[in-house]
Structure 1
């Protein structure tokens, strides 16, 4: 968080002055919506110096899209799998990697091997067309599940896995039922080998097992445009609805009871599972990015800017003329500063709904995240959705309190050159997207409206 030594005192003084002036103004008139740069004057009958209230909403906005270089995708407790293709956002594929261990490595010597498979339990998340068939393939990871030179796995991370397929399934999903699951039958040669090694005490511990079987990669078919699904990936073995590799065996003891048993191999800790999310924007109007500093301006991308969770695609809003407010008067304060923007009509639907809130971050000129946006009182400020009750959802919009942002820029001794980044609240565990319109031809432009008091 970047502040300068004297700013906290200035902000406190401004807040006190603002509260005093509001108290005076409340005896005189009620604020109402106004046109550009409207001025109200309050005479010296009330205070020694004149007060002017200006409502300014003619700020020039520079809107664009950039791409974060990476997002942490480990420790999300979600296996994210699938492939989607979009005319605007290109193709996106998500595979998942995980380490697996068992709570026990003890199997009765009388046991007989039955089968092995992987159970994927839905967590109800989905994106895309769930009426289409998808295929998942299982592969054996051939390197240790550890991040390279960092503490986390990212959407750009990957691990080497064997080309041989341990199991696969094709299915039409039913993601709305958290009690449902997908079962992928796995290679019995692998299953029998694990079973025999446990029975013969060649595998007695977690370390023994991880030396033998380092982990599993789940890879979706990428030939079709279908969907991305979320599956439960908890690190607690006995949790209901958890995903796991399951080894089945039976013990024949001539009684009438069920003699079927199984051992579950689950993710030992949340950081031992991650999702690799790959995107290809080369054939879209957005195009590929050279690096995370490159900005694709809205006028070159259909008068829109784009945010996509999981991939790092991010909307950026810059308002360079805020600093010019300081030229109006040396003695002034921001009563309110509200940023509004509209989601593009037709860009959202049942599988890609508008989120009730979006997170807003402050970034610098190189698109480095500095902090989360706060209001003038230091509280986190998000973008809140306001839905109008019209048949075509044409007037839905988001509103953000920029009072703290405006004040910080105005009363900084240097040119901060800050911008705003718009992202999903949980942008590491899903692939939803929002398209923000910035089009003067449709009157759907990103707009900042500031109520500014001079005294």
Structure 2
């Protein structure tokens, strides 16, 4: 808090009186009650770095690179392998009744609805062949920090623009693979090789691929659909003979979705977060009076109320009747290319900084969520709001080891599945329209 003695004195002049003095306990002790609003309370904020996020089991993979002035350079790579091709013995092998002519082979990716960065920029995509098979850890998971060894030189490189709405081909990205790979697969099918019999056998031959952005890219991190249909390697071929006209056919090799994952790295060296680590959270006073939240990179904010007990000095007895926390994104830190999260979650952190799963509120069994209220006309009143009445009522009067703090982060649907981000101004941020605000309604009793 600023200067508490000054604050408490000023409060008597700046608060709004909701009602006149009143008396309770007609036949007991005469007690005067005053309703007051405290609007100048300072909330302490810190940016924290959490553990790596699990990226197996998602319905999307990430690839691309974006230079964010607030969050640093974010680079995403994805890793996945494939099921063997299913083929017909009437077309391949010693019992074939037609002749097969290889045409082409391609990797096809389907765009998801999320991207982070400037999608109007030209992007480079490198495809590397993996040198090792993808193996899950003891929890059957892989993470944003996981990786698998791949060839040094790209197998294939392409450049592309992420399609904008209403483009002719706005759903998929098709990348031609080397003909030699397709011809080799045809030879294996003609030989009815054991390598094509099972997934385990097939990945000893073809261990999978890694998708990576260009080294100098500064465009966007893309997401692509991950399901039983995409990504897919599609082999096109033509059959000739067998008493039928020439036919064009295809064989698909689908992804084993259980081991597909994304690696997401950050370089914060040229940002106010350069010294941030899991063991070194940064108070907003060291980061330009701002704090940072982001999904898969693990950034969240800790909120503390160290001087809450000072309001007890307002009278003989002080009761918090209501408390609303307003969180305002800093202007200029979000756009259509880097959208704000739709919801934020608020949760307890215990005295050791460990998150408690349930927001402590007698009326709910889930964490509290704040929904984005967006000012699309003037852009000056965009915010999230939280009712922290129960929390502050519980905290009022506690000291030392009994005090806790709050954790502000993206809700699970976006925290574990996107790179959406948020920059918040603290109570001293230069632009007062972007400052966090805590409004506390109290009833103060003074014995006569």
> In 1, Cα distance between the equivalents of 2:135 and 2:354?
26
Distance 1:374 1:105, change over 3 A: farther
Give SS of 1:345's match.
Answer: coil
Aligned to 2:215: 222
Aligned to 2:338: 352
Kindly indicate whether the alpha-carbon contact (under 8 Å) linking 1:106 and 1:199 is maintained by their aligned counterparts in 2.
Answer: no
Aligned to 1:59: 41
- Give the superposition deviation at 1:406: 2.3
Distance 1:263 1:417, change over 3 A: same
What count of residue pairs does the alignment treat as equivalent? 414
Alignment map for 1:176-191 (pairs within 5 Å): 176=165, 180-191=171-182
> In 1, Cα distance between the equivalents of 2:324 and 2:246?
65
Distance 1:83 1:380, change over 3 A: same
Aligned to 1:318: 304
Please tell me whether residue 429 in structure 1 is matched to residue 417 in structure 2: yes
How big is the alpha-carbon RMSD for the aligned residues of Structure 1 and Structure 2? Answer: 3.0
- Give the superposition deviation at 1:184: 1.1
Instruction: Indicate which of 371, 374, 378 corresponds to 1:387.
Output: 374
- Give the superposition deviation at 1:232: 0.8
Kindly indicate whether the alpha-carbon contact (under 8 Å) linking 1:130 and 1:172 is maintained by their aligned counterparts in 2.
Answer: yes
Kindly indicate whether the alpha-carbon contact (under 8 Å) linking 1:168 and 1:185 is maintained by their aligned counterparts in 2.
Answer: no
Aligned to 1:68: 50
Aligned to 2:440: 450
Aligned to 2:191: 200
Distance 1:249 1:317, change over 3 A: same
- Give the superposition deviation at 1:102: 4.3
Distance 1:255 1:123, change over 3 A: farther
Instruction: Indicate which of 130, 151, 173 corresponds to 1:162.
Output: 151
Distance 1:226 1:152, change over 3 A: same
> In 2, Cα distance between the equivalents of 1:166 and 1:223?
18
Kindly indicate whether the alpha-carbon contact (under 8 Å) linking 1:93 and 1:222 is maintained by their aligned counterparts in 2.
Answer: no
Aligned to 2:74: 92
Give SS of 1:211's match.
Answer: helix
Aligned to 2:95: none
Aligned to 2:284: 298
Kindly indicate whether the alpha-carbon contact (under 8 Å) linking 2:127 and 2:157 is maintained by their aligned counterparts in 1.
Answer: yes
TM-score, length of structure 1 as denominator length: 0.81
Kindly indicate whether the alpha-carbon contact (under 8 Å) linking 2:239 and 2:246 is maintained by their aligned counterparts in 1.
Answer: no
CA deviation map 1:378-423 (0-9, x unaligned): 24311222234643x1222211122333244348795133232322
Distance 1:258 1:376, change over 3 A: farther
Q: Which runs of 5 or more structure 2 residues have no equivalent in the other structure?
A: 1-12, 93-97
- Give the superposition deviation at 1:132: 1.4
CA deviation map 1:198-256 (0-9, x unaligned): 3322221222212222221111113121111111111x23xxxx321222222113777
- Give the superposition deviation at 1:46: 7.2
- Give the superposition deviation at 1:288: 3.3
TM-score, length of structure 2 as denominator length: 0.82
Aligned to 2:106: 117
Distance 1:440 1:142, change over 3 A: closer
Distance 1:409 1:131, change over 3 A: same
> In 1, Cα distance between the equivalents of 2:415 and 2:145?
14
Please tell me whether residue 126 in structure 1 is matched to residue 108 in structure 2: no
Aligned to 1:363: 349
Q: 220-229 vs 256-265, which deviates more?
A: 256-265
Alignment map for 1:233-244 (pairs within 5 Å): 233-234=226-227, 236-237=228-229, 242-244=230-232
- Give the superposition deviation at 1:79: 1.7
Distance 1:150 1:451, change over 3 A: same
> In 1, Cα distance between the equivalents of 2:124 and 2:281?
36
Distance 1:191 1:417, change over 3 A: same
> In 2, Cα distance between the equivalents of 1:82 and 1:352?
14
Distance 1:276 1:42, change over 3 A: same
Kindly indicate whether the alpha-carbon contact (under 8 Å) linking 2:344 and 2:408 is maintained by their aligned counterparts in 1.
Answer: no
Kindly indicate whether the alpha-carbon contact (under 8 Å) linking 2:328 and 2:384 is maintained by their aligned counterparts in 1.
Answer: yes
> In 2, Cα distance between the equivalents of 1:367 and 1:196?
59
Distance 1:342 1:403, change over 3 A: same
> In 2, Cα distance between the equivalents of 1:364 and 1:105?
58
> In 1, Cα distance between the equivalents of 2:320 and 2:192?
72
Distance 1:416 1:192, change over 3 A: farther
Kindly indicate whether the alpha-carbon contact (under 8 Å) linking 2:61 and 2:224 is maintained by their aligned counterparts in 1.
Answer: yes
Kindly indicate whether the alpha-carbon contact (under 8 Å) linking 2:375 and 2:381 is maintained by their aligned counterparts in 1.
Answer: yes
